[in-house]
A and B are shown apart, each in its own frame.
Chain A
Amino acid sequence: MSVIKKLFGIVWAAMGLGIIPLVVMRAMQEIGAKPTEENWIFWSIVIVVLMPIISFSLITFGVFALKGEYDS
């Protein structure tokens, strides 16, 4: 179980890192195609609020899991 927890740690950290370019690229595409106020508000909330929370928590959690902090 402890090995699985550690291996999944890599998955969580990779997810946390991977989300950043995905979300930023999608936001640039959508705002570039249609620079409306609606688009700006939506993507600002996602990039400023949601994405940092998801990325930071998944990366930190993944690193902790990889180091075996959740083994006990």
Chain B
Amino acid sequence: MAHNASAVSQNEEVTSTRRVIAASSVGTLIEWYDFYIFGSLAKIISEQFFPKDNPTAALLATLATFAAGFVVRPFGALFFGRLGDIIGRKYTFLVTLIIMGGSTFVIGLVPGYAQIGFVAPAVVFVLRLLQGLALGGEYGGAATYVAEHSPADKRGFWTSWIQTTATFGLFISLGVILIVRQSLGLEKFNDWGWRVPFLLSVFLVAISVYIRMKMSESPLFAKLKKEGKTSANPLAESFQKKDNLKMVLIALLGATAGQGVVWYTGQFYALSFLQNACNIEFVQSNIIISVALIVGTPFFILFGSLSDKIGRKWIMMAGMIIAVVAYRPIYTMMYDMGSVKKKIEVKDKTVVEHKAELKGADSLKTTITKKTFEDGTTYKEVKKEKFPVDPVKKAELAAAKKLKPDVKKETTLPQDIFYKMIGLVFIQVIFVTMVYGPIAAFLVELFPTRIRYTSMSLPYHIGNGVFGGLVPLISTRLVEATRLTPDTPPTDPLAGLWYPIVIAAVCFVIGSLYITNKPTDVDVE
């Protein structure tokens, strides 16, 4: 009888565990999805919401908006972290979910720059800031909530489910974009179809809010609240008391900064590198990343679980140092396989088509070049030159160097190189899982319950939002700096890797020296 009662109790515990993990993870997953569709659609958003006469400024403006979404995350961490430590985890991360879902949905409704002028980018900018704020509050809440439910010897395993959500969110956002794009066709997608992934978010958020409403408060926080021991001023306690501030600093400089750059390099920079440095075709490059992500995702659980056995520190440090050493060789291989510069062309398969047409007072000349290479790679270049029919105006524009052709390059890889490329991105995803899988448990164990939400959220979001989130902007800049003239290609397409390499290397040294590999069955208080 006693045996039966114990079995029933164990079953209930397992069900309750699954419910806690599922409810927390699904909400966090949706928040990541919302956040990443903006990044994944950066090019289209720049065309829709920013002035079209200067495409570089438009793209940079989008990147800045993208960065703003990341940079504002630490403020969300402070604001919602404080709320979570005062009123509770459950209600706080319910609010962040609603703000995120609402902002994403509204982005899908905002008319473009062509319709409402400068109001359009301004509204999108504000909505992006709201997304960043909400995300800043979400992750710490979910990680804290799950960790405070979990047994001490399984904290790494339990929280690693939360860690899968960021990668899964990116995977789903890429998947939804690809499906909508393929179903509608490129023209309709660029015109209005890009709004669909944003609008879809409202349904996902509604489901998640419903699930979260049914959850109970974290037991550790509920106990603290009942005893009247919650913090009255979590911000002051977290950052003005030396004992806690030094832990915040070690978390940032010894773990999250390096983890952030490894995370963004392995997922975002890899995609940007495939599309911009190697010119890999849009669908193929997204499939490469998506497959690598989905195959790599179980490793978050593996490394989270392993950290329960051998400690968090050395798994994270190993991920960082291997990434530092391996990035340049990996990206050199990616460049050699993806770029057509070093490939041998099959000359008799080259096709060049010319087309000229009149568009009002302008003449549009289109040249399409299709090349095939010996390894089976195909390359397509579409060059569009638009100039006034009036020779005087044409000469004026030429003198002002305003007659730059619009060139679009697309490389399609043969199957064997395509699989090798997936393998190289997958290796980077493994680095990501090593640094990211154990980090929620590591952060939770650094801080006490009364200020945990605030204290762990800030270093996490500075590490990921600022150090990691700026990877695309800074890396693009480093590559651009290697151009000898504005019209020549970069001399070092791998220069962008120096930023993540240096940050991860410094973080590795600090983490290895100063972080203690604690026993992993400690109770959090």
Contact yes or no, B470 A50, CB < 8 A: yes
Contact yes or no, A70 B71, CB < 8 A: no
Contact yes or no, B245 A60, CB < 8 A: yes
Instruction: Provide the B217-260 mask, 1 if CB < 8 A to any CB of A, else 0.
Output: 00000000000000000000000001001100110110000000
How many residues of B sit at the interface, in one of the four size bands? 20 to 34
Contact yes or no, A60 B249, CB < 8 A: yes
Given A45-B67, A45-B470, A61-B249: A53 touches B60 (CB 8 Å cut-off):
no
Contacts of B61 in A (CB 8 A): 41
Among A4, A38, A41, A64, point to the contact of B249 (Cβ < 8 A). Answer: A64
Contacts of A37 in B (CB 8 A): 57, 60
Among A12, A15, A38, A49, point to the contact of B466 (Cβ < 8 A). Answer: A49
Contacts of A15 in B (CB 8 A): 506
Among A38, A46, A49, point to the contact of B56 (Cβ < 8 A). Answer: A38
Contact yes or no, A70 B250, CB < 8 A: yes
Residues of B486-525 contacting chain A, CB below 8 A: 506, 509-510, 513-514
What is the distance, in angstroms, from A34's C-beta to the closest C-beta of chain B? 10
Residues of A22-65 contacting chain B, CB below 8 A: 37-38, 41-42, 45-46, 49-50, 53, 57-58, 60-61, 64-65
> Does any Cβ of A come within 8 Å of B462's Cβ?
yes
**Chain A binding surface SS class:** helix
Contact yes or no, A38 B60, CB < 8 A: yes
What is the distance, in angstroms, from B458's C-beta to the closest C-beta of chain A? 11
What is the distance, in angstroms, from A18's C-beta to the closest C-beta of chain B? 13
Chain B residue, CB-CB nearest to A41: B64
Chain A residue, CB-CB nearest to B67: A45
Among B242, B252, B509, point to the contact of A57 (Cβ < 8 A). Answer: B252
Q: Which residues of A contact B (CB under 8 A)?
A: 4-5, 8, 12, 15, 37-38, 41-42, 45-46, 49-50, 53, 57-58, 60-61, 64-65, 69-70
Q: A50-B466, A61-B510, A64-B249 are in contact. List 14 more A-B contacts (CB 8 A).
A: A5-B513, A12-B253, A38-B57, A41-B60, A41-B64, A45-B71, A45-B470, A46-B474, A53-B462, A60-B245, A60-B249, A61-B250, A65-B514, A70-B250
